[in-house]
Copies of this chain bind each other. A is one copy, B any other.
Amino acid sequence: MYSRNDIVTHILKNKNNTPKPASSLCFAPANIALVKYWGKRNTELNLPITSSLSVSLGEFGTKTQVLLSNKDELIINNQKFASNTEAMQRLIKFLDLFRQTNNQYFKVECTSNIPMAAGLASSSAAFASIVQALNDLYQWQLPMSKLSILARIGSGSACRSLWQGFVKWQKGKRKDGMDSYATPLAQTWPDLRIGLLICDSQPKAISSREAMEITKRTALCYKLWPQNVKESMPLVEKAIAEHNFALLGQTAEHNALTMHAYMLAAAPTICYFSPRTIEIFHKIWGLRKEGMNLYFTQDAGANVKLIFQQQDAEFLQKTFPEIKIINPFI
């Protein structure tokens, strides 16, 4: 078993140890998986059981600067986090991997324009931008694959937030996870749109980290998840290559619903649906019956992410006045 420290030490071997006083501002977009990451083969290193594929959210993400300091600090959108918060604890543990001396501390300043409600993958953009800022602070000049591994160690899906556009995270096979990182896909899709619909602004009752473990441990059907992904992945890749929108939407929606199905089948059950989530599902299925090319995906939170094409943006803005429309390929 490799520890996170083993991996970081290995990646930073022969790298510069002397940080600048402050990094430049580094931006990482949030990302939304079209083929989901659900379940770890190694919880220490966040090594996934399956590969996954996402699309990044363009200008929606997190901008981070890391500065040397006399104590660890986390500031998000000008709000300072107390040291006993979960976010701060998680960050300190992560920073521990990079300190070169015992009294080296960091001030981490993040600005996020991601709607901060549940299930919008804000930790992905945060850890991806922190890793980029650390790379700049120490001037390691690491290749992107290594940055992706470091981001993954912070938060699994953060490894996909280092690029815009479509990004695939190869699960890898190695025990040390050195082959488990993301790479961007060459294809773009200028007409593709993602629509965020906030369904519940309360913090989620259970973290995705915990939910994954319960699903894996207790849902009989979870053992079929790798096969589900094996079916979804080539279809999504084909859809992207051919700009086959219906295939993309169908496959992404089916993949997401299968993930939520497997959570419902866990014991105790895990249900990220809110009444509004289900209301939106039925609305989408109704519009699709009427001929609209409209699909959705959902992550570990109540919010729904619509998948559609530019031509329907105006109609959907009217239908869902609260929608936040994102053009991933701007």
Stretch of A3-11, A80-88, A173-181, A272-280 contacting B (4+ beta carbons < 8 Å): A272-280
Interface size on A, residues (CB 8 A): 30
- Cα–Cα, bound, A192→B282 (Å): 34
Partner of A257, one of B228, B254, B264, B285: B264
Mark interface residues in A225-252 (1 if CB within 8 Å of B CB, else 0). Answer: 0011001000000000000000000100
- Name the B residues within 8 Å of A264 (CB-CB): 257-258, 260-261, 264
Could you tell me if B273 and A265 are in contact, using CB atoms closer than 8 angstroms? no
Interface membership of A12, Cβ < 8 A = no
- Cα–Cα, bound, A274→B282 (Å): 8
Could you tell me if A221 and B277 are in contact, using CB atoms closer than 8 angstroms? no
Interface membership of A224, Cβ < 8 A = yes
Within 8 A of B (CB), among A259-305: 260-265, 267, 269, 271, 273-279, 281-282, 285
A286 nearest in chain B by CB position:
B205
- Name the B residues within 8 Å of A271 (CB-CB): 278, 281-282, 285
A222 nearest in chain B by CB position:
B221
Interface membership of A220, Cβ < 8 A = yes
- Cα–Cα, bound, A264→B274 (Å): 16
- Cα–Cα, bound, A86→B265 (Å): 33
- Name the B residues within 8 Å of A278 (CB-CB): 271, 273-275, 277-278
- Cα–Cα, bound, A52→B153 (Å): 46
Could you tell me if B228 and A224 are in contact, using CB atoms closer than 8 angstroms? no
A228 nearest in chain B by CB position:
B220
Q: Tell me the smallest distance from the CB of A168 to a CB of chain B, in Å.
A: 22
Q: Which residues of A contact B (CB under 8 A)?
A: 220-221, 224, 227-228, 231, 250, 253-254, 257-258, 260-265, 267, 269, 271, 273-279, 281-282, 285
